[in-house]
Structure 1
Amino acid sequence: MVVGDVFHTPKLSGPGRQKNLDAWANRYPARLRTREETQSWLEQQFFPASKRWLYCGNGKSGTSSTKRFLFELEFGRPLSAHLLVPFDINPDVVAHRLAEFDVFRSLADTEDSQDVFANALRLTTVRNPYSRAVSAYLYLCKSDEMARHWFAWDRVRMNAMVGFDWDNDPRTATGFEKFLDYIASDIQNRGLQEVNPHWRPQHGNIRPGLFDAHLIGKTEDLGTFFKDVAARLNQPLPATFKAKAANQNADSTPKDALLTPAVRQRITRIYGPDFAQFDYDPDAAKAA
């Protein structure tokens, strides 16, 4: 691998991109049932020019920190470019647009996507379903406080469908219950893959059976995950290495107060498979 190597060829477009999507849909017709579903799944997986690893993003599970780590591992230097996108509320938006800038590339945008998928070290990250649901809820509340277009579609529908009062319900346990009721309704009425990936159940983002990761990192211990990734890629990190936290949204909301029995019951019902598949205990006293 050449340190600093990026993509110098254009992304797939038009008929070439459609051919790539069709190839995946034909390979997994029972799982990738629509063009939109196929495209969404492939776009959340990205890899470097070296093609040695493939990361499947999973919203609200340390993705900013992981993308920054992978950038530094690949190029030998930290990501220091800055970017502000007016409609985006993510304070670390640049880390999420690396494929847009041809530094990394998504599986949807490359002709040899199936070869990359088969040969790369497949990576993903997961998070305790309790703390992930809390994080997603507070992130949604932040978007309304900022009056940004980000998540506006869901915010207005929550207002209409479950009576979420955006003047009084944000950051309350009552509002959290309504948010979870909205997610449950969305899954029932539109389907799991139509739910926003920031709060879609994690098995619906990663899709085990389609994407079987070689290494799964837990947000609660990204440092160990990063060391394992580096070791597998023959770039061992020093024993003193510590994971750097990115995209830390300052929020003074007492998070434990949000996890009422009614809320926990809803979370275990909606995210039940995540607890089982990713080895989290739904009966733990506190979210990690």
Structure 2
Amino acid sequence: MSGAAEPLREVIARHGLSASKALGQNFILDRQLLARIAAIPGPLQNQRVYEVGPGPGGLTRALLDAGASVVAVERDRRCIPALAELMDAFPERLALVEDDALEIDERALAGEGAHVVANLPYNVGTALLLRWLGADWPPWWRSLTLMFQKEVAERIVAGAGSPAYGRLSVAAQWRSTPRIALTVNRSAFVPPPKVTSAVVHIVPREQPEGVHPDVMERLTQAAFGQRRKMLRSTLKALPGALDALEYLNLDPQRRAETLSVHDFVRLARLLS
């Protein structure tokens, strides 16, 4: 039995915790909001969830209350005692790993088909997302439900022609479907960050045939490397790229942000 949940503010006070700026931490105390985030992937009863940066365990508790089995990775040892109490309350369904999420083998820890749900530390959020998007395909994860600064979330879901559209947009969209599921006001966090946040939900789909991920990465890196320049300048160092543009009837005087994700897929297929 998990018993009545102690208010998170009291858990934090009892353990003398405060969010670490160096670790990019911002805690959410609102239990209703945490339950809404935990509901985004869909029903979690008997599902496996991988969580990064649980902090004092607010979202962890919401995931456990939703019926999930959770593997939580936390590098801040100050938070371990609070999380250990949760592990005592849910001994069969919470595994705690004290480590750096950028250094571990998530596939081995979480297993195939886990949902990733995390209020990501801002300073590692994009790096972790690119790592998960760069996994073997289909990936080990079933879905990603991740908190970002709203500006980053908008880059993930942006379409061609938008000022926010770039490498991150193509990386997220060429073989998965991202959406902004929830916008979160800065007042929901302790301490409040300087910016609004948003939760992005990403579901993988089939990888387009004949496209190598490394080629797609090199292509988008070159194309968006100097946004103001035309493709004939940004892609000239990439072998075969200008010929591919010509073959696909794509004007080399265009800029990268005018090419759709589908255009990048067609280019990468030829270069693969």
Q: Given the two structures, how large is their TM-score scaled by the length of structure 2?
A: 0.25
Q: More helix by proportion, 1 or 2?
A: 1
Q: Which has the higher contact order (CA 8 A, sep 6+)?
A: 1
TM-score by length of 1: 0.24
Normalized per residue, the structure richer in strand is 2
